[in-house]
Amino acid sequence: MEELIIFVGLGLLVGFLVGLTGVGGGALMTPSLIFLGVEPLIAVGTDLLYATVTRIFGVFFHHRRGRIRYDVSLRLFAGSLPAIALGGLMLREINKEVLNDYLTLLLGLILVISAVLGLLKGELHVPIKPRWTYVYLLGFIVGLTVQFTSVGAGVIVSFTLMNVARLDPKEVVGVTIVYGLALSTFSFLNYALMGSVDYHLAAALILGTLPGVYFGTHVNTMADREKLKRVINIIILLIGVFTLLNR
Protein backbone atom coordinates (compact mmCIF):
# COMPACT_ATOMS: atom_id res chain seq x y z
CA MET A 1 0.00 0.00 0.00
CA GLU A 2 2.83 2.38 0.92
CA GLU A 3 4.58 1.66 -2.40
CA LEU A 4 1.33 2.37 -4.29
CA ILE A 5 0.98 5.74 -2.56
CA ILE A 6 4.58 6.63 -3.49
CA PHE A 7 4.05 5.90 -7.19
CA VAL A 8 0.65 7.64 -7.32
CA GLY A 9 2.37 10.62 -5.68
CA LEU A 10 5.17 10.49 -8.26
CA GLY A 11 2.57 10.51 -11.06
CA LEU A 12 0.81 13.44 -9.39
CA LEU A 13 4.06 15.43 -9.09
CA VAL A 14 5.25 14.78 -12.66
CA GLY A 15 1.76 15.43 -14.05
CA PHE A 16 1.57 18.71 -12.15
CA LEU A 17 4.96 19.84 -13.50
CA VAL A 18 4.01 18.87 -17.06
CA GLY A 19 0.70 20.74 -16.78
CA LEU A 20 2.48 23.73 -15.26
CA THR A 21 5.41 24.02 -17.71
CA GLY A 22 4.76 21.70 -20.64
CA VAL A 23 8.12 19.96 -20.20
CA GLY A 24 9.73 17.25 -18.14
CA GLY A 25 7.43 14.20 -18.45
CA GLY A 26 9.72 11.39 -19.60
CA ALA A 27 12.87 13.19 -18.49
CA LEU A 28 11.62 13.16 -14.89
CA MET A 29 9.65 9.90 -14.81
CA THR A 30 12.20 7.34 -16.02
CA PRO A 31 15.13 8.44 -13.78
CA SER A 32 12.72 8.78 -10.83
CA LEU A 33 11.57 5.18 -11.30
CA ILE A 34 15.18 3.99 -11.47
CA PHE A 35 16.08 5.95 -8.30
CA LEU A 36 13.11 4.30 -6.57
CA GLY A 37 14.58 0.89 -7.34
CA VAL A 38 12.78 -0.09 -10.55
CA GLU A 39 14.98 -2.07 -12.96
CA PRO A 40 16.07 0.23 -15.87
CA LEU A 41 14.47 -1.96 -18.56
CA ILE A 42 11.18 -2.09 -16.63
CA ALA A 43 11.39 1.66 -15.93
CA VAL A 44 11.71 2.50 -19.64
CA GLY A 45 8.99 0.05 -20.73
CA THR A 46 6.57 1.23 -18.04
CA ASP A 47 7.25 4.91 -18.80
CA LEU A 48 6.52 4.27 -22.50
CA LEU A 49 3.08 2.87 -21.58
CA TYR A 50 2.49 5.77 -19.17
CA ALA A 51 3.52 8.28 -21.87
CA THR A 52 1.25 6.64 -24.45
CA VAL A 53 -1.86 6.91 -22.27
CA THR A 54 -1.18 10.50 -21.14
CA ARG A 55 -0.38 11.71 -24.68
CA ILE A 56 -3.77 10.54 -25.94
CA PHE A 57 -5.36 13.40 -23.99
CA GLY A 58 -2.81 15.89 -25.37
CA VAL A 59 -3.52 14.84 -28.97
CA PHE A 60 -7.28 15.20 -28.43
CA PHE A 61 -6.83 18.70 -26.99
CA HIS A 62 -4.52 19.95 -29.76
CA HIS A 63 -6.57 18.32 -32.54
CA ARG A 64 -9.63 20.25 -31.42
CA ARG A 65 -7.63 23.46 -31.67
CA GLY A 66 -6.37 22.58 -35.16
CA ARG A 67 -2.70 23.02 -34.23
CA ILE A 68 -1.29 19.78 -35.58
CA ARG A 69 0.88 19.45 -38.69
CA TYR A 70 0.16 15.83 -39.58
CA ASP A 71 2.49 15.97 -42.61
CA VAL A 72 5.50 16.65 -40.38
CA SER A 73 4.34 14.15 -37.73
CA LEU A 74 3.96 11.36 -40.30
CA ARG A 75 7.40 12.01 -41.82
CA LEU A 76 8.99 11.91 -38.37
CA PHE A 77 7.26 8.63 -37.61
CA ALA A 78 8.20 7.17 -41.01
CA GLY A 79 11.84 7.90 -40.12
CA SER A 80 11.34 6.22 -36.75
CA LEU A 81 9.88 2.93 -38.04
CA PRO A 82 13.26 1.39 -39.03
CA ALA A 83 14.69 2.64 -35.71
CA ILE A 84 11.85 0.92 -33.81
CA ALA A 85 12.55 -2.34 -35.69
CA LEU A 86 16.31 -2.04 -35.10
CA GLY A 87 15.79 -1.14 -31.44
CA GLY A 88 13.48 -4.12 -30.93
CA LEU A 89 16.10 -6.44 -32.42
CA MET A 90 18.86 -5.01 -30.21
CA LEU A 91 16.69 -5.28 -27.10
CA ARG A 92 16.21 -9.00 -27.78
CA GLU A 93 19.79 -9.80 -28.75
CA ILE A 94 21.81 -7.88 -26.15
CA ASN A 95 22.32 -9.42 -22.69
CA LYS A 96 19.83 -8.03 -20.13
CA GLU A 97 22.52 -7.03 -17.59
CA VAL A 98 24.51 -5.20 -20.27
CA LEU A 99 21.32 -3.47 -21.44
CA ASN A 100 20.44 -2.28 -17.93
CA ASP A 101 23.95 -0.87 -17.48
CA TYR A 102 24.09 0.96 -20.81
CA LEU A 103 20.47 2.14 -20.57
CA THR A 104 21.46 4.13 -17.48
CA LEU A 105 24.48 5.63 -19.28
CA LEU A 106 22.43 6.60 -22.35
CA LEU A 107 19.63 7.96 -20.18
CA GLY A 108 22.07 10.24 -18.34
CA LEU A 109 23.51 11.55 -21.63
CA ILE A 110 20.06 12.18 -23.16
CA LEU A 111 18.88 13.98 -20.02
CA VAL A 112 21.90 16.31 -20.15
CA ILE A 113 21.43 16.99 -23.89
CA SER A 114 17.68 17.55 -23.49
CA ALA A 115 18.19 19.95 -20.58
CA VAL A 116 20.83 21.98 -22.44
CA LEU A 117 18.58 22.26 -25.52
CA GLY A 118 15.67 23.25 -23.29
CA LEU A 119 17.75 25.99 -21.63
CA LEU A 120 18.69 27.38 -25.06
CA LYS A 121 14.94 28.07 -25.50
CA GLY A 122 15.07 27.47 -29.26
CA GLU A 123 17.23 30.57 -29.82
CA LEU A 124 20.07 28.89 -31.71
CA HIS A 125 19.39 29.28 -35.43
CA VAL A 126 21.31 26.63 -37.35
CA PRO A 127 22.46 27.89 -40.81
CA ILE A 128 21.08 24.87 -42.69
CA LYS A 129 18.51 24.99 -45.49
CA PRO A 130 15.36 23.09 -44.40
CA ARG A 131 14.91 19.75 -46.19
CA TRP A 132 12.42 16.92 -45.64
CA THR A 133 15.41 14.55 -45.52
CA TYR A 134 16.43 16.06 -42.19
CA VAL A 135 12.96 15.37 -40.75
CA TYR A 136 13.21 11.66 -41.66
CA LEU A 137 16.75 11.52 -40.22
CA LEU A 138 15.57 13.24 -37.03
CA GLY A 139 12.79 10.65 -36.74
CA PHE A 140 15.31 7.82 -37.01
CA ILE A 141 17.71 9.27 -34.41
CA VAL A 142 14.98 10.13 -31.90
CA GLY A 143 13.20 6.83 -32.57
CA LEU A 144 16.33 4.89 -31.67
CA THR A 145 16.96 7.06 -28.61
CA VAL A 146 13.41 6.62 -27.27
CA GLN A 147 13.71 2.83 -27.65
CA PHE A 148 16.38 2.77 -24.97
CA THR A 149 15.54 5.73 -22.70
CA SER A 150 11.86 6.72 -23.35
CA VAL A 151 13.23 10.32 -23.43
CA GLY A 152 13.84 12.59 -26.43
CA ALA A 153 10.59 12.86 -28.38
CA GLY A 154 9.80 16.23 -26.79
CA VAL A 155 12.71 18.59 -26.26
CA ILE A 156 15.06 17.24 -28.96
CA VAL A 157 12.35 17.18 -31.66
CA SER A 158 11.01 20.61 -30.66
CA PHE A 159 14.45 22.22 -30.73
CA THR A 160 15.35 20.69 -34.11
CA LEU A 161 12.03 21.51 -35.78
CA MET A 162 12.30 25.15 -34.76
CA ASN A 163 15.96 25.61 -35.65
CA VAL A 164 16.46 23.32 -38.65
CA ALA A 165 12.97 22.83 -40.16
CA ARG A 166 12.00 26.44 -39.22
CA LEU A 167 8.57 25.34 -38.01
CA ASP A 168 6.31 27.81 -36.22
CA PRO A 169 6.70 27.26 -32.44
CA LYS A 170 2.89 27.11 -32.09
CA GLU A 171 2.82 24.13 -34.48
CA VAL A 172 5.78 22.38 -32.88
CA VAL A 173 3.91 21.42 -29.69
CA GLY A 174 1.14 19.62 -31.60
CA VAL A 175 3.67 17.81 -33.80
CA THR A 176 5.72 16.56 -30.85
CA ILE A 177 2.60 15.27 -29.06
CA VAL A 178 1.22 13.39 -32.10
CA TYR A 179 4.64 12.04 -33.07
CA GLY A 180 5.41 11.23 -29.44
CA LEU A 181 2.15 9.29 -29.12
CA ALA A 182 2.86 7.16 -32.21
CA LEU A 183 6.48 6.61 -31.18
CA SER A 184 5.75 5.69 -27.55
CA THR A 185 2.95 3.33 -28.63
CA PHE A 186 5.12 1.28 -30.99
CA SER A 187 8.15 1.48 -28.69
CA PHE A 188 6.03 0.22 -25.78
CA LEU A 189 5.10 -2.84 -27.85
CA ASN A 190 8.77 -3.85 -28.05
CA TYR A 191 8.99 -3.86 -24.24
CA ALA A 192 5.57 -5.52 -23.83
CA LEU A 193 6.69 -8.42 -26.05
CA MET A 194 9.78 -8.81 -23.83
CA GLY A 195 7.68 -8.77 -20.65
CA SER A 196 9.47 -5.59 -19.50
CA VAL A 197 6.41 -3.54 -18.51
CA ASP A 198 4.92 -3.25 -15.03
CA TYR A 199 1.22 -2.63 -15.74
CA HIS A 200 0.23 -2.11 -12.10
CA LEU A 201 2.98 0.49 -11.72
CA ALA A 202 1.87 2.25 -14.92
CA ALA A 203 -1.73 2.34 -13.64
CA ALA A 204 -0.60 3.94 -10.36
CA LEU A 205 1.41 6.59 -12.23
CA ILE A 206 -1.50 7.39 -14.58
CA LEU A 207 -3.90 7.58 -11.62
CA GLY A 208 -1.75 10.32 -10.09
CA THR A 209 -0.87 12.09 -13.34
CA LEU A 210 -4.38 12.92 -14.57
CA PRO A 211 -5.34 15.16 -11.62
CA GLY A 212 -1.74 16.43 -11.56
CA VAL A 213 -1.95 17.71 -15.14
CA TYR A 214 -5.35 19.24 -14.42
CA PHE A 215 -4.11 21.22 -11.40
CA GLY A 216 -0.84 22.15 -13.10
CA THR A 217 -2.70 23.55 -16.10
CA HIS A 218 -4.86 25.73 -13.86
CA VAL A 219 -1.92 27.01 -11.76
CA ASN A 220 -0.12 27.74 -15.07
CA THR A 221 -2.19 30.91 -15.54
CA MET A 222 -0.83 32.37 -12.28
CA ALA A 223 2.85 31.44 -12.67
CA ASP A 224 5.80 32.67 -14.74
CA ARG A 225 5.91 29.76 -17.20
CA GLU A 226 9.32 30.56 -18.73
CA LYS A 227 11.08 30.80 -15.37
CA LEU A 228 9.50 27.53 -14.28
CA LYS A 229 10.62 25.82 -17.49
CA ARG A 230 14.20 26.94 -16.83
CA VAL A 231 14.03 25.55 -13.30
CA ILE A 232 12.70 22.20 -14.60
CA ASN A 233 15.45 22.02 -17.23
CA ILE A 234 18.12 22.75 -14.60
CA ILE A 235 16.65 19.95 -12.44
CA ILE A 236 16.73 17.58 -15.45
CA LEU A 237 20.35 18.59 -16.11
CA LEU A 238 21.30 17.83 -12.50
CA ILE A 239 19.46 14.49 -12.64
CA GLY A 240 21.35 13.63 -15.84
CA VAL A 241 24.73 14.47 -14.29
CA PHE A 242 23.82 12.54 -11.12
CA THR A 243 22.77 9.53 -13.23
CA LEU A 244 26.10 9.56 -15.08
CA LEU A 245 28.17 9.91 -11.89
CA ASN A 246 26.34 7.14 -10.02
CA ARG A 247 26.34 4.35 -12.60
Model pLDDT for residues 181-208, shown as the tens digit of each residue:
899 999 999 999 999 999 999 999 999 9
What is the average pLDDT across 74-80? 93
Q: What is the pLDDT of residue 9?
A: 93
User: Is pLDDT at 117 greater than 70 in this prediction?
Assistant: yes
Lowest model confidence (mean pLDDT) among 8-17, 80-89, 166-175? 166-175
Give the other-Cβ count within 10 Å of 89's Cβ: 11
User: Is pLDDT at 20 greater than 80 in this prediction?
Assistant: no
Task: Print burial letters for 26-55: b (CB count within 10 Å at least 16), e (below 16).
Answer: bbbbbbbbbeeebbbbbbbbbbbbbbbbbb
Lowest model confidence (mean pLDDT) among 8-12, 139-143, 166-170? 166-170
pTM equals 0.84
Q: What is the pLDDT of residue 221?
A: 64
User: Is pLDDT at 23 greater than 70 in this prediction?
Assistant: no
> Residue 29: which of 21, 224, 121, 40 has the closest Cα?
40
CA separation for the pair 115, 112 (Å, rounded):
5
Q: What is the pLDDT of residue 10?
A: 92
Structural domain boundaries, residue 233: 1-246
CA separation for the pair 19, 157 (Å, rounded):
19
Q: How many residues does the chain have?
A: 247
What is the average pLDDT across 69-80? 90
Number of domains into which the chain is organized:
1
Measured between alpha carbons, how far is residue 35 from residues 96, 111, 199 in Å? 19, 14, 19
User: Is pLDDT at 7 greater than 90 in this prediction?
Assistant: yes
User: Is pLDDT at 216 greater than 80 in this prediction?
Assistant: no
What average pLDDT does the structure give for the chain? Answer: 82
